[in-house]
Amino acid sequence: MRFLLDAEQRAFAASLDALLTAAGTPAVIRDWSRGDHAGGRALWSRVADAGVFALAVPEAYEGLGPRPVELAVAFVELGRHAVPGPLVETVTAAALLAGADPGTAERLLPALASGEAMATVAPEGAHALDGDAAAVRIAWAPGRIRLSPGHGPVRPSLDPARRLTPLLPGGDVLGLPTDEALTWARLTTAAQALGVGLALLDRTVGYVKQRTQFGVPVGSFQAVKHRLADAKIALEFARPLVFGAALTMEPADAAAAKAAACEAAYTTARTALHLHGAIGYTAEYGLSLWLTKARALRTAWGAPEECRALVVSATGDRRW
Amino acid sequence: MDLAFSPADEAFRAEAREWLHAHVPRAPLPSLETEEGFAAHRSWEAELAADRWSVVNWPARYGGRDAGLLRWLLFEEEYWAADAPGRVGQNGIQLLAPTLLDHGTEEQQARILPPMASGEVVWAQAWSEPEAGSDLASLRARAVRTNGGWLLTGQKTWSSRAAFADHAFGLFRSDPDAARPHQGLTYLMFGLRAPGVTVRPIARLDGKPAFAELFLDEVFVPDEDVIGEPGRGWRIAMSTAGNERGLMLRSPGRFLASARRLEELWRRRGRPAAARDRVADALIGARAYRLFTYAAASRLLDGESVGPESSLNKVFWSELDIALHETALDLLGPEGEMADTEWAERYVFALAGPLYAGTNEIQRDIIAERLLGLPKGRR
């Protein structure tokens, strides 16, 4: 029992952080929001070169995985930098395709591992994230997954960096969905949300130390401190749930991590907005890139109530 | 990174589980905040100690098993899962003993720890004073030098377990002229039945005397009952508040067991939809606290310290505890009002969580200032 990231995992996080810090991510996000995918694709390929998507793909299909702990490490960093694109969906597609027939897996997975192609997935009839950017679009119905031939018109999300598209009917049936795919979706969404929350907390702590009112930094007021302390508590207790779920890959564990991390990120977003005042309410100020994502991730791949329902319906010898 | 325990650790867990299964009283003991219950819980401590289960992480020579931090966590999980009685000895075991093991003399350890482990001597804490709660450094009760020891005079209050306990420990102002309030404090132990001590039990909300006021009038304490150097009491008290105590004040096992009991109650009541999310949150919170603690324990075993992160624990478990028990009482409906149930007893106990061991507001200040680096300001 050593429930801590090892040196290699921490180094992986640090190298991704450095890569994303150097990449000018905010400009990439704003371009992506306008449907200009060039910068996003370039960033995607650098993230893929760092090995992120390969972690979700089995070695048999030119991947390095599946390695959920490392993937969670990566998604915390992707969330911290608000990287746009169908990140969770590409991982989820990889999990679905790994369970599809070997021919399909062989045809589609290597391109996901290398970053050459993005994938998106949505339950049949729902909107898929970034269907206009993805090369692989999977519609997920009970009993089958289908490769959609295309996407309909883009609808905006509350998070401008998330572009929502219906998937066109028809296309090849690829096989049966696997239950694990939903666990992958929830795990990576939870890790991404944790990263979003951590970034919001960091930026807000920085802001309240500099912003003065009544002649002192607003961060010296107890009311301000306590809201930030609560955000810190929520995030620090979501973190072990995320990594615990990565270790077990149990559906209820991933659901618990998703509920807690998304709640923590969302509460932190509300706190961040409030403590920034009106500047935080503007689209031009950088905080908006994380604020809106915290809201969107909360309901992606299972709203809080759905995840909680799974937690209480889990059976078996749970030592929770 | 892993969550797997070694076969030896699992064997330890299994041994604890088996022992508890054979020994935990079938019917709950009376409340330990009553005279009758206190005596029953003291006997339970003796039963635990007879097979060296009362202080598993202590050195074997004082009645422990040298079990280490991880096995202590496993033992606690089994203990609470077995629905074993609350620990009447915990103030001594969790607060005083680590201090003695770090700062006490060998003579003090040998004299004080074995009867503490067996429940023969039950300890109460005597930190708070009428004018000093979370601002502990403002305490006034004084220790005055006398031949061969000290004379204690003053008032302590909110002293948990003191209504029925044997001895107490706390900080006293031994140098009123010290430059700063944290200086000139001495860490002392005294007998609750010593001449000059008056114990006035205080009833908590439900009428049970869970704590007491202590009036001290020139109570003699010999030099051998001073812990560490006179005048250095603050540092000694705070050093033990550091690492392990951050974990040990409330082990995750307690909340895991309570959350599971809550889940059972919810199922028995027909799984009412209105309470589902609160039940799930109790389970999620208990799991989060457990995993957080494993991470903290892993850091300690790596030789790192935990420090101000223990403030995260304190706020988290105390709020979890209240939410969990409120949910249980709500599920019980009108029955939840009955005061003589285990749920009610635990609810009342939980209500105190945010108040003691440094209020949650003080903990939030610590989190904000020491973990987030925010500037100090007026409270």
ipTM metric: 0.97
Name the band, by pLDDT with cuts 50, 70 and 90, for residue B307.
confident
Is there a single domain that holds both residue A173 and residue A185? no
Residue A188 and residue A167 share a domain = no
Is residue B122 a contact partner of residue B115, using CB atoms and an 8 Å limit? no
Is B373–A260 a contact, with Cβ atoms under 8 angstroms apart?
no
Stretch A45-57: mean pLDDT, rounded? 98
Chain A residues closer than 8 Å to B82 by CB = none
Search chain A and give the residue with CA nearest B283: A320
| pLDDT tens figures, A259-315 | 999 999 999 999 999 999 999 999 999 999 999 999 999 999 999 999 999 999 876
Q: Which of A177, A194, A215 is the last residue of a domain?
A: A177
Radius of gyration of chain A (CA): 19
Start-end of H helices in chain A: 7-22, 25-33, 38-49, 68-80, 87-98, 102-114, 179-210, 222-248, 251-276, 288-299, 304-313
Element (DSSP H or E) covering residue B188: strand B185-191
Between A315 and A226, the higher pLDDT residue:
A226
Average pLDDT in chain B: 94
- Cβ within 8 Å of B, A 247-286: 247-248, 253, 256, 259-260
Q: Which residues of chain B does A309 touch, with a Cβ-Cβ cutoff of 8 Å?
A: 276, 280
Are the C-beta atoms of A115 and A48 separated by less than 8 Å?
yes
Task: Tell me the CATH number at A114.
Answer: 1.10.540.10
For strand A163-165 and strand A155-156, is the pairing parallel, antiparallel, or unpaired?
A: antiparallel
pLDDT, chain A, mean: 96
Quote the pTM value: 0.96
Q: Is A223 on the interface with B (CB under 8 A)?
A: no
Is A295 inside any structural domain? yes
* A6 close to B (CB below 8 A): yes
Does residue A211 sit in helix, strand or coil?
Answer: coil
Q: Which chain A residue's Cα is nearest to B279?
A: A312
Residue finishing a domain among A177, A209, A234: A177
- The CA distances from residue B201 to B158, B159, B272, B352, in Å, are 9, 9, 41, 17
Does residue A1 lie within any of the structural domains?
Answer: no
Residue B244 known to be catalytic: yes
pLDDT at B179: 87
B158-193 confidence digits (pLDDT tens): 999 999 999 999 999 999 999 888 899 999 999 999
Residue B96 pLDDT:
93
User: Of the candidates A177, A211, A239, which is a domain's last residue?
Assistant: A177
Q: Which of the residue ranges B14-18, B121-125, B307-311 would you say has the lowest mean pLDDT?
A: B307-311
pLDDT of residue B245: 55
> What is the average per-residue pLDDT within B363-369?
96
Burial class (CB in 10 A: 0-12, 13-18, 19+), A195: buried
Residue B326: strand, helix, or coil = helix
Whether the CB of A224 is below 8 Å from some CB of chain B: the reply is yes
The DSSP call for residue A151 is B
Q: Could you tell me if A285 and A247 lie in one domain?
A: yes
Number of domains in chain A: 2
Q: How far apart are CA A189 and CA A225, in angstroms?
A: 28
Chain A (92-111) residues lying within 8 Å, Cβ to Cβ, of chain B: none
User: How far, in Å, CA of B219 to CA of B188, rounded?
Assistant: 11
Which pair of structure tokens corresponds to residue B150? 């000290």
Are residues A192 and A163 both part of a single domain? no
H-helix segments, B141-272: 233-248, 252-268
Query: By the 8 A CB rule, do A95 and A25 touch?
Result: no
**Which of A290-294, B64-68, B229-233, B243-247 is the least confident region?**
B243-247
CATH number for position A243 = 1.20.140.10
Task: Give CA–CA dist A110/A58, Å, rounded.
Answer: 10
Contact B295 A312 (CB under 8 A): no
A189 and A135 both lie in a single domain = no
| Domain assignment of residue A170, yes or no | yes
Does residue A2 fall inside a structural domain? no
Query: In this predicted structure, what is the pLDDT of residue B296?
Result: 92
Q: Is the pLDDT of residue B264 over 90?
A: yes
Residue B241 has a pLDDT of 62
pLDDT at A316 exceeding the cut of 60: no
Other Cβ atoms less than 10 A from the Cβ of A4: the count is: 19
Q: Are residues A195 and A276 in the same domain?
A: yes
Top-tier CATH class for B250-372: mainly alpha
User: Would you say B221 and B150 are in contact if contact means Cβ atoms under 8 Å apart?
Assistant: yes
Whether A25 and A83 map to the same domain: the answer is yes
Asked whether A179 and A310 are in contact (CB, 8 A), the reply is no
Q: What CA–CA distance (Å, rounded) separates B18 from B11? A: 10
Residues A251 and A136 in one domain: no
Side chain identity at residue A220, one-letter code: S
Domain co-membership, A172 together with A287? no
Q: Is the pLDDT of residue B5 over 70?
A: yes
Report if residue A122 sits inside a domain.
yes
Contacts of A181 (CB under 8 A, 6+ apart): A92, A95, A96, A99, A121, A140
Name the architecture of domain B123-231: Beta Barrel (2.40)
Same domain, A129 and A54: yes
Q: What angle do CA B107, B112, B117 make, to 5 degrees?
A: 135
Looking at residue A319, what is its pLDDT? Answer: 59
Nearest to A23 by CA among A78, A86, A87: A78
The verdict on A189 and A278 lying in the same domain is yes
Q: Is the pLDDT of residue B244 over 60?
A: no
Q: Give the CA count within 13 Å in the CB-facing half-sphere of B319.
A: 19
* Across B279-306, average pLDDT: 94
Q: What percent of chain A has pLDDT over 70?
A: 98
B233 HSE (CA, 13 A, CB side)? 29
A57 within domain boundaries: yes
Of chain B, the end-to-end C-alpha distance in Å amounts to 40
Please choose, from the candidates B136, B61, B137, the residue with its C-alpha nearest in 3D space to the C-alpha of residue B101. B61
Cβ pair B368:A228 closer than 8 A: yes
Q: What is the domain range of residue A194?
A: 180-317
Compare all CA atoms of chain B with the CA of A255 and give the residue at the minimum distance: B284
* Residue B31 per-residue DSSP state: P
Q: Give the confidence band of A209 by pLDDT, cuts at 50, 70, 90.
A: very high
Average pLDDT over every residue of B272-279: 97
Q: Is 60 exceeded by the pLDDT of residue B220?
A: yes
Catalytic site residue from B45, B244, B309, B345: B244
In chain B, % of residues over pLDDT 70:
97
A63 and A166 belong to one structural domain = yes
Between CA B100 and CA B379 the distance in angstroms is: 33
Q: What is the pLDDT of residues B74-86, one digit of tens each?
A: 999 999 999 999 9
